[in-house]
Structure 1
Amino acid sequence: MPVKYLCACALIGLLALAPASAVPVEPQAATATQSGDDAAPSQESVDHELDLFRRAGVSLHQAMRIAEKIHPGSVTADISFDGALGAPLYKVRTIKSGQVFECDVDGITAEVKNSALFSSLQELNELDRHNLAALRAAHLKMSDAVLIAEKSAAGKAIAGGLANNDGRLSFIIIVVSNGGLKQVQLEPAPGRH
């Protein structure tokens, strides 16, 4: 999930949760933050993005399933809504057999606009490789985390990604609920080999 998007939305602090449960935390008022040379987008641009998201007929969960079908056996590692070009689009990264694929799914038609190899696991940094290995071993998948977060926060997920908290994998899901954004963090139970 793009750090710029997280900063732009001025999302809430992380929430430590038990493995198959989630509790949303109310979002704080949006503030402009700056990270390096990237200034956060204005509240107007965030509102425009959320308006496009609300008009999309394809859900984040559906976009994830579409992307995973392109590479059977793949799992989603990162997904986010992108309305920067004025049209609703989901950017999905899936992993399979040591490769990371990126796919763009149209938020209106569900058509795949682009699908390409993004990277091999060897090209990623050590933390990303560790997170992806933990994702493959976890019982909870991104699609499960999205459904849990949507139910918990009573809304629709707009983005989902992986985070590493003290060496432990977490799913970070952003949900649009009651006109605002809520962040839900889930820590999956480790998989059994």
Structure 2
Amino acid sequence: MSAIRFTTALMTAVLAIWPASAAVADRGSDTEIQTPAVSPSDERTGPSMIALGSGADLIRLAEKKLRGARVYDLDLSDEGAVPCFEVKAYRAGQMWSIMIDAATRRIVRPARARPASEFDPDTQRDLADFGRIRMKLSEAVMIAEKLGGGRAISAGLHRDEDRLVFVVVVVADGTLKEITVQPDK
């Protein structure tokens, strides 16, 4: 999926759930990572309940479930009866996808695998480059949540002037913030 199509789909899904203003870009080089506080309570966000906690927690949950896999995409989806996060990972030439309920943080659709060879050449190139990056997506999400002062609802790989970067969308006080994190800097 191209970055433009991905962003358009993401914004459509997010705007259906949260009243938000236009996305803004924050750029920073803050490298100190602090674990965000996690509370077992829920916070009302639009018409549905979204559990408090970091998007990094969802990524770690998926990586634990898919041993040896590295998550490269996190996306809030409202296509089902309840909002869910689709988490995509890559392992041994296979692309894996699981769905996690946004309110309960329970896996609602088990892992499904597809061969990476079924995807377009750009996606295959991005995944090959992703394999050479030391930074995990969960680290990029933690940095973005700290900089944006909110919670990640989307994170993934994107090309920026032929460099692979992580783009994280954070919701803070009803506002969407798009934060770009350059890996391995």
Structure-1-length-normalised TM-score = 0.72
What are the superposed Cα offsets for residues 30-88 of structure 1, whole Å, 9 maximum, x if unpaired? Answer: xxxxxxxxxxxxxxxxxxxx525663346422221221112111111111112333413
Unaligned runs of 5+ in 1: 22-49
Q: How far apart are 1:167 and its partner, in Å? A: 1.8
Larger strand fraction of residues? 2
Percent identity over the alignment is 25
Contact residue 98 and residue 109 of structure 2 kept, 8 A? yes
Q: Secondary structure at the match of 1:55?
A: strand
- Give 1:147 shift: 0.0
Local SS of the residue matching 1:66:
helix
39, 56, 62: which one pairs with 2:51? Answer: 56
Task: Tell me, in whole angstroms, the C-alpha distance in 1 between the residues paired with 2:115 and 2:47.
Answer: 32
Query: What is the alpha-carbon distance in structure 1 between the residues aligned to residue 91 and residue 112 of structure 2?
Result: 11
More deviation in 152-161 or 76-85? Answer: 76-85
- The CA RMSD measured in Å over matched residues stands at 2.8
**Paired amino acid for 2:106:** E
Report which stretch shifted further, 81-90 or 149-158: 81-90
Q: How many corresponding residue pairs?
A: 163
Instruction: List alignment gaps of at least 5 residues for structure 2.
Output: 16-20, 33-44
In 2, Cα distance between equivalents of 1:135 and 1:176: 25
Structure 1 stretch displaced more, 177-186 or 7-16: 7-16
Pairing partner for 2:162 from 167, 172, 175: 167
Q: What is the CA–CA distance in structure 2 between the aligned matches of 1:115 and 1:87, rounded to whole Å?
A: 16
**One of 86, 89, 94 as aligned partner of 1:91:** 86
Which residue number corresponds to residue 40 of structure 2?
none
Change (3 A) 1:104 1:52: farther
Per the alignment, residue 7 of structure 2 pairs with 3
Report SS of the residue matched to 2:126.
helix
